Amino acid sequence: MSALPIKLLTDYYAAYGEGGAEGLARMSAFYAPNKTHYMAGNSELAGESRSPEESLQAMKRLQELSGGNVSFVGPPAILLAGDAVVVLLVQERHARPGKPELIVPRLYLYEIADGKFTKSFAWQIESEAFDNYYPRSAQQPPAHTA
């Protein structure tokens, strides 16, 4: 295994930590042109993104809903790192305006090819708490296609 997957992941999460439009723009540089993403659960953010643009729209929506108040509690724990796949566990702190803070463990899997993320998957380990924090109303479609 080369060090590339871990460096790619470290640089990507540094961009994520920057937040805002600049951080999102930097994040998109890590996406392959055909990158897809799947987020499990029943929250407003759950569903499938079929392009880098849709993935960024979902990240923008998370920033809008949280007021930009998503951060990490400690560094991500890399559970598996190979040349084509990286799996990590992240403790995320969400602080939505008007709601108590939520710290939720999230598991991410990234597939990598040619130094770019081609697919990503996200699961909330405490899915019900996350779904309740970012609820989807009965009339509201998912933030991205499901």
Q: Examine residue 87 and state whether it is found in any structural domain, yes or no.
A: yes
Token pair of 62, please?
Answer: 């998370």
Q: How many domains does the chain have?
A: 1
Cα separations in angstroms, 54 against 95, 128, 143: 24, 24, 9
pLDDT tens digits, one per residue of 69-88? 888 888 889 999 888 999 99
Q: Does residue 142 sit within a domain?
A: no
Cβ atoms of 24 and 113 within 8 Å: the answer is no
Residue 144 lies in a domain: no
The residues, ordered by sequence, that sit 6+ positions from 81 with a Cβ below 8 Å of its Cβ are 1, 5, 6, 9, 87
Asked whether residue 36 is domain-assigned, the answer is: yes
β partners of residue 102: 94
Q: Where are the strands (E) in 8-141, listed by range?
A: 31-39, 47-49, 70-72, 77-81, 85-94, 102-113, 116-124
CB 32 within 8 A of CB 116: yes
Contact of 72 with 88, CB cutoff 8 Å: no
Residue 141 in domain: no
| pLDDT digit string, tens, across residues 20-71 | 778 788 888 899 999 999 999 999 999 999 999 998 888 888 888 888 888 8
For residue 53, the enclosing domain spans 4-133
**Domain-located, residue 139:** no
Q: Does residue 138 lie within any of the structural domains? A: no
Within the chain, what is the greatest distance between any pair of CA atoms? Answer: 47
Domain CATH number, residue 17 = 3.10.450.50
pTM (2 decimals)? 0.84
In a domain, 145, yes or no: no
